[in-house]
Amino acid sequence: MQIEWTEGGVPHSARWRAEGGAAPPRRVQLVDDTLTADAAHRLASEGTGLLWRGDYQNARQLLQALARRIDRPPRSASKKARERTARGALAEDAPPAQAFHLHRQSQAQRARTLGRLLIELGADYGIALRRAPDLRAAIAEAWGPADRAATTVVSLRELLGLVGAHEWRKKGVEIPALGGPPHNRIHPHYGVFSPVRGEYIDLVAQAPLPAALTAAPQHESLAFDIGTGTGVLAAVLARRGVPRVIATDQDPRALACAHDNLARLGLADRVELLQADLFPPGRAALVVCNPPWLPGRASSPIEHAIYDEDSRMTRGFLAGLRAHLAEGGEGWLILSDLAEHLGLRAPGELQGWIGAAGLAVLQRHDIRPRHGKAMDAGDPLHAARSREVTSLWRLGAAAA
């Protein structure tokens, strides 16, 4: 996909890059340090792409100024409305599901507006702007080597996110369930969801392993990790002594990330990675799945770790689980009940899916989230988040 503009009376074009697949802006205006934040806000709100030709660090400051203007209510709004906007409140009297959808719409519009401040990258991923850092290594890590055939235009917001992902990958995320340092860090790749919500990992680390797994001969002791992502749950199972784990994912990025993490942790010989939609062939004594928690359509690839449209993965896991369980085996479904509190899934609907799949609940382990948003009274979804519980459902084949 190409983006086009005119510069010095000469038509120009470049490759357009957007992680979420957004189309390039139809109108592109060259801008520099003389552009005021108010003018930038007006142009970006109207859909104009602002191709930056000034100082790189000033572009970063302008992006911050745009964010403040988007988050600030209009001066004509009432005092109460300004206070509600300042604390992030949305549709106080709206049903939870409506408030959630309004919140997503607001966030999507915010992202679109901020995404219209654009940076041109050279054919080698270099940035020919004053005070621009050398980001070529971070960009190549996410996108692959530069083909040196064309320049690329990307939003500054996305570029900064890419750089942030590069730093996360270098630093890694400490996972106490994997043991002590230095071999307890997971390094998420760009586009692969980071395991920053540690409570679901703790559930998998603490739940008793099924007897069918521990009693089986070592060569038959097998677990499946469905939708492995960074490989963190497969690593936890291996560290718990499971001799063999088969971990699946559809996303090549996730499989590459899991491969790197398992090799770094010294577990590559215990975990086999397989590109698959849900289950690998065969049966296992333990089948673990931590699907996306919210029914909804993802707006970018990384959001597939959060949003499961029509609960496809959750329902698919439950529907196929019995056929992939060894005799006496268990399926572990790790799922938050936030969808119920937001009105996106009816109370009891999950249990209905479990029963319809010929499964029975053997036990349920619950934990309260510890992430910042669960404690943030200013979050627009705080009423739902404050009641959220994450559960590990231990499931087995129902009696005939």
DSSP for 205-252 reads HHSPPPHHHHHS-GGG-EEEEES-TTSHHHHHHHHTT-SEEEEEES-H
Task: Say which DSSP state 303 is in.
Answer: G
Instruction: Tell me how far apart the alpha carbons of residues 336 and 87 are, in angstroms, rounded to a whole number.
Output: 25
Which is it for the CA torsion 357, 343, 296, 227, positive or negative? negative
Selection from 177, 121, 124 nearest residue 148 by Cα:
124
Relative to beta strand 27-31, strand 117-121 is: unpaired
Relative to beta strand 325-336, strand 390-397 is: antiparallel
pLDDT of residue 207: 97
Examine the fold and report which residue of 150, 169, 188 is the final residue of a domain before the chain moves on: 169
CA angle, 264 then 233 then 161, to 5°: 70
Considering the domain architecture, whether residues 24 and 91 belong to the same structural domain is answered as yes
Mean pLDDT of 103-124: 94
pLDDT of residue 97: 86
Number of domains in the chain: 2
Residue 199: count of CB within 10 angstroms of its CB: 18
Percent of the chain with pLDDT over 90: 75
Considering the domain architecture, whether residues 183 and 325 belong to the same structural domain is answered as yes
User: Is a pLDDT exceeding 90 seen at residue 276?
Assistant: yes
Considering the domain architecture, whether residues 92 and 190 belong to the same structural domain is answered as no
Tell me the backbone φ, ψ of residue 181, rounded to 5 degrees: -65, 155
pLDDT of residue 217: 79
Considering the domain architecture, whether residues 116 and 52 belong to the same structural domain is answered as yes
Window from 67-81, 166-180, 300-314, 383-397 with minimum mean pLDDT: 67-81
Given pLDDT bands bounded at 50, 70 and 90, which one contains residue 173? Answer: very high
Helix, strand or coil, per DSSP, at residue 327:
strand
Considering the domain architecture, whether residues 284 and 339 belong to the same structural domain is answered as yes
Instruction: Tell me how far apart the alpha carbons of residues 16 and 151 are, in angstroms, rounded to a whole number.
Output: 9
Terminal CA-to-CA distance of the chain, rounded, Å?
55
Tell me the backbone φ, ψ of residue 392, rounded to 5 degrees: -105, 110
Any idea what the CATH number is for the domain that residue 186 is in? 3.40.50.150
Q: Which amino acid is at 242?
A: V
Please give the C-alpha separations between residue 69 and each of 10, 27, 37, 40, 287, in angstroms, as whole numbers.
33, 22, 8, 10, 48
User: Is a pLDDT exceeding 70 seen at residue 66?
Assistant: yes
Instruction: Tell me how far apart the alpha carbons of residues 129 and 244 are, in angstroms, rounded to a whole number.
Output: 51
Cis (ω within 30 of 0) for the bond into 208? Answer: no
User: Is a pLDDT exceeding 70 seen at residue 79?
Assistant: no
User: Is a pLDDT exceeding 70 seen at residue 281?
Assistant: yes
Considering the domain architecture, whether residues 207 and 144 belong to the same structural domain is answered as no
Considering the domain architecture, whether residues 161 and 260 belong to the same structural domain is answered as no
pLDDT of residue 219: 65
pLDDT of residue 147: 83
User: Is a pLDDT exceeding 60 seen at residue 22?
Assistant: yes
Given pLDDT bands bounded at 50, 70 and 90, which one contains residue 93? Answer: low
Beta bridge partners of 331: 287, 395
Q: Are the C-beta atoms of residues 256 and 299 closer than 8 Å to each other? A: no
Considering the domain architecture, whether residues 11 and 60 belong to the same structural domain is answered as yes
Considering the domain architecture, whether residues 262 and 370 belong to the same structural domain is answered as yes
pLDDT of residue 376: 75
Considering the domain architecture, whether residues 201 and 266 belong to the same structural domain is answered as yes
Examine the fold and report which residue of 153, 169, 185 is the final residue of a domain before the chain moves on: 169
Examine the fold and report which residue of 123, 148, 169 is the final residue of a domain before the chain moves on: 169
Instruction: Tell me how far apart the alpha carbons of residues 161 and 235 are, in angstroms, rounded to a whole number.
Output: 27
| pTM listed for this prediction | 0.89
Considering the domain architecture, whether residues 322 and 340 belong to the same structural domain is answered as yes
- Runs of H (alpha helix) within the chain: 37-45, 56-71, 79-86, 96-114, 136-143, 156-171, 199-206, 211-215, 232-239, 252-264, 312-321, 338-341, 349-356, 382-385
Instruction: Tell me how far apart the alpha carbons of residues 267 and 9 are, in angstroms, rounded to a whole number.
Output: 58
pLDDT of residue 58: 98
Q: Are the C-beta atoms of residues 90 and 105 closer than 8 Å to each other? A: no
User: Is a pLDDT exceeding 90 seen at residue 378?
Assistant: no
Q: Which domain holds residue 115?
A: 2-169
Instruction: Tell me how far apart the alpha carbons of residues 17 and 300 are, in angstroms, rounded to a whole number.
Output: 13
Considering the domain architecture, whether residues 119 and 214 belong to the same structural domain is answered as no
User: Is a pLDDT exceeding 50 seen at residue 82?
Assistant: no
